[in-house]
Amino acid sequence: MPDIKHLIENNKAWAEEQVQKDPDFFKRLVGQQAPEYLWIGCSDSRVPANQIVGMDPGELFVHRNVANQVIQTDFNCLSVIQFAIETLKVRHVLVVGHYGCGGVKAAMESKPHGLVDHWLYPIRDVYREHAEEIAALEDSQKVDRLCELNVIEQVKNLAKTNVVQEAWDRGQPMTLHGWVYRLDNGLVNDMNVSVSSREGLEQVYHVYHQKLPDGLKK
């Protein structure tokens, strides 16, 4: 393994450094996993979830895919969400995009990119819905604005999932958030779309999993 041997060496050095700083670090890590946060982010290698928010391993549950999407037929993502909410009892779910996202940019282009084009169609729909707003922007701003709009849409998609609405029905405290990370300064931009209930979702997306009190309509 001549091409990756340095990674194993780096791993050994990192593990030794952790033990030097905190002899019980790995003992605690093995003991339990109890993060309060689920991070749904982009696969981009420049967006390291734990480091961005200053958290150690075990403090942040992470799912990543191209352009940080929450798609109702993506059972990988939905399984992560269900485990995080029902087993880990996370209190916050963060949908985190980043400015200059290559996936978002590809969704704006009228040329083929291979298999990923099928994955990016939901972002093309977001682009179409906001085409007038985006067309009025400078070219340098268009991709970044669609990155923001995509995050906002994915927070809505997350709120529409059965597992999230079931948690709210149980009275489980949980808030969904949308952020966009800026690569050139390392800061996140809060989209101010945090949601802790069905309020704000169109009625058609309300799925109740418990009997409602008398007089309350679905």
Q: How do residues 51-66 score in pLDDT, each as one tens digit?
A: 999 998 889 999 999 9
Flag whether the pTM goes above 0.75. yes
Annotated active-site residue 147? The verdict is no
- Residue 28: its H or E element: helix 25-31
Grade residue 213 by pLDDT with cuts at 50, 70 and 90: low
Active site residue 42: yes
- Considering the candidates 42, 63, 77, 198, report the single residue annotated as catalytic: 42
The total of other beta-carbon atoms located within 10 Å of residue 42's CB is 25
Q: Which stretches of the chain are assigned E, i.e. beta strand?
A: 37-42, 60-65, 92-98, 175-181, 188-190
Instruction: Give the least confident one: 40-54, 110-124, 201-215.
Output: 201-215
* Among the listed residues 155, 181, 179, the one whose alpha carbon sits nearest the alpha carbon of residue 47: 181
The catalytically annotated residue of 46, 118, 128, 214 is 46
**Beta strand 37-42 pairing with 60-65:** parallel
